[in-house]
Amino acid sequence: MKKYALNDITLFQFIFMIHGAQLGIGIFSLPSDLAKVSGTDGWISLIIGWAITVVISMIIVQIMKQHPDDTLYDLLPRYFGKWIGKLLHILVISYFLFAFFTSGLASLTVIKQTLLPKTPNYWLMILIILPIYTIARNHVRILARYAEITFWGFLWLLPLYLFALKEGVWLNLLPVLKDGLSPVWAGIKTTSLSFQGFETIFMLYPFLKRKDKALQGVLIANTLTLIIYLCAVIVCFLYFSPDGITNYNWPPLRVLKSLEFRFLERFEVIWIVAYLFLLSRVWIINLYFASLGSSQLIGKQDHRPHLRIYLLFFLILSLFFKPGYSKGQYLTDWLAYAGIAFAFVFPCILWPYTALVRKWRKGH
């Protein structure tokens, strides 16, 4: 019997899990970060970053095709031996935990500054932890259903955000490539963090029911993320002046505050609260795969005890660690470096390495 047969997921759930792991709090700072590096040509950097991400995603699928019933945790000892495999196993767990902590801290900062400025950190952390545990204590199939429901349930956020286009100045985007290609290439590094999350393919592939559709799934998932990022970036580029956008840490939130409807007040508050449901997918997916990895490391099938330990640790940490934009940005920069190493470089090394190992073993 297949190891993960009872938790198989559909193609749509596979797509929304990957997309859910990508679409995080970084969307709020992405327009400003791109403008500082690439100017109003940052949208081109975004498309190039998407193309690179799609290629790496397809490489991961090719790696996993050789062992369709295994996750990355199962592959590491197979190809690297017991001790190096365990070391890499621990590094992967650490990556997912760090991604959870960084996204959680960044989310806490946004909540504190926009919704609940006087609420103590530990109360906010409790409010975040309880629903996370309720969902993450289940298995992948439940997580995938949640990812799909939240996507369709909050799809209305995007067209409402696009109302800001009526105040936009399209001339802000011209001329295209006014400073040449150098700023565009420099912006690709900035986009790398925004697309991080596709590396969950390493974990999701064995759960996919129709594995022959995996390439199609990763293409759609990355394209969904690209469309949402392009909407966020282009609206901000049109709404703000090319120099003015760099004065804001979270330009999309500023855009939302400017939107007014006769039937609705404080629209940005409603939008942020709704977006937290989408954001919760990032927390849950990263924390689940970290818990799954650490439980498998010691030969246990039940990941829930590890899940409780991690959540308790982060709750205690919130008592001493005060969120802030500068601290969040510092951790985000380190997550970007870790993501480049794990999500972009590692698959490019692992693919030829596994092929050579299989060829060598076949010859012997």
Angle at Cα 95 formed by Cα 112 and Cα 53, nearest 5°?
95
Give the residue numbers spanning the domain of 167.
5-355
* Within-domain flag for 284: yes
Residue ranges of alpha helices (H) inside 115-181 are 121-136, 140-153, 157-161
Please tell me the pTM assigned to this model.
0.94
Instruction: Please report, for the domain that includes residue 142, its CATH number.
Output: 1.20.1740.10
Backbone angles phi, psi at 254, to 5 degrees: -65, -40
**Mapping DSSP to helix (H, G, I), strand (E, B) and coil, where does residue 260 land?**
coil
Element (H, E) at 352: helix 346-363
Question: How many Å from the N-terminal Cα to the C-terminal Cα in the chain?
Answer: 29
* Within-domain flag for 364: no
Quote the CA–CA distance of 116 and 236 in Å, as a whole number: 25
**Tens-level pLDDT at each residue, the chain (364 residues):** 466 666 899 999 999 999 999 998 888 889 999 999 988 899 999 999 999 999 999 999 999 999 999 999 999 999 999 999 999 999 999 999 999 998 888 888 888 888 888 888 888 888 889 999 999 999 999 999 999 999 998 888 888 888 888 888 888 888 888 888 899 998 988 887 789 999 999 999 999 999 999 999 999 999 999 999 999 999 999 999 888 898 888 899 889 888 877 777 777 888 888 888 889 999 999 999 999 999 999 988 899 999 999 999 988 887 777 766 777 778 888 998 999 999 999 999 999 999 999 889 887 6
* Within-domain flag for 255: yes
Roughly what angle, to the nearest 10 degrees, separates helices 42-65 and 30-38?
Answer: 110
* Within-domain flag for 336: yes
- Please give the tally of structural domains in the chain: 1
* Within-domain flag for 109: yes
In the numeric block, which tokens belong to residue 25?
């709090």
* Within-domain flag for 363: no
